[in-house]
Amino acid sequence: MTWRELCEHIQSLGQCLVEQELAPGDVVCLVGRAEQSLVLRYLACLAQGVIPALLSDQSKSQFITKFDTLYRTNEPANVWGNCQWDELTAQRDELELYRIERSDDDFSKAGSQPTNAIEMTEPVVSIVFTSGSTGRPKAVAHRASNHLASAEGLLQRFPFTADDSWLLSYPCSMSLGWPLFGAG
């Protein structure tokens, strides 16, 4: 894929966000594995100013818990990817962006209100959830500067070069940021 093809593909995917009337600052749950389609959807979100919350496929109850963290009561959840919790969602195309109405008790807990613990001076470029090993998983918002600082710290310990490669399961700062600096 050339840089031009990449840009055109990201613009095309970004149009999906525009067609769903998602605006800068809105949250969309990106469901998938660490593979090319997820990276492209992530980049489309960044290009449109939409905040990507990265989620692996999981049980319906786990999705509901995460939706309650990310969205207000009765606010629909924006999902981009293939969820496997029932026959309807399992049949969706991986690149289809859809909304899950949460007014139904099946998709919402009463009184869920996401909290903004800190005021962000930079746009949020990703939301990831902790493992929940000490209780309920917590959403962690990252800015671009957080990813770059992480990558710089890793480079101090691991001297990667343009000829090196790594697993896609490495942090976004490595799998997304590294190629942007001409090293992968």
* pLDDT for the residue numbered 53: 94
* pLDDT for the residue numbered 151: 80
pLDDT per position as a tens digit, 72-122: 888 899 998 876 666 555 556 656 788 888 765 555 454 445 544 445 567
3-state class (DSSP) for residue 62? helix
**The domain 3-106+123-157: what is its CATH number?**
3.40.50.980
* pLDDT for the residue numbered 44: 95
The rounded percent of the chain whose pLDDT value lies above 70 is 72
| pLDDT reading at 12 higher than 70 | yes
Alpha-helical segments (H) within 77-177: 87-90, 144-157, 172
**Is the model more confident about 40 or about 35?**
40
pTM comes to 0.73
- With beta carbons less than 8 A apart as the criterion, state whether 129 and 137 touch: yes
User: How high does pLDDT run on average in the chain?
Assistant: 77
Q: What are the domain boundaries of the chain?
A: 3-106+123-157
- Close Cβ partners of 28 (under 8 Å, ≥ 6 residues apart): 17, 22, 45, 50, 51, 52, 53, 78, 79, 80, 97
* pLDDT for the residue numbered 25: 92
* pLDDT for the residue numbered 30: 92
* pLDDT for the residue numbered 111: 47
* pLDDT for the residue numbered 28: 95
3-state class (DSSP) for residue 47? helix
The CA-atom distances, in angstroms, between 131 and each of 66, 104, 135, 136, 140 are 12, 27, 9, 8, 11
Orientation angle between helical segments 3-19 and 36-48, nearest 10 degrees? 70
3-state class (DSSP) for residue 16? helix
* pLDDT for the residue numbered 180: 45
How far is the first Cα of the chain from the last one, in angstroms, to the nearest whole number?
14
| pLDDT reading at 179 higher than 50 | no
- With beta carbons less than 8 A apart as the criterion, state whether 40 and 17 touch: no
| pLDDT reading at 175 higher than 60 | no
Residue 22 — very low, low, confident or very high, per pLDDT cuts 50/70/90? Answer: very high
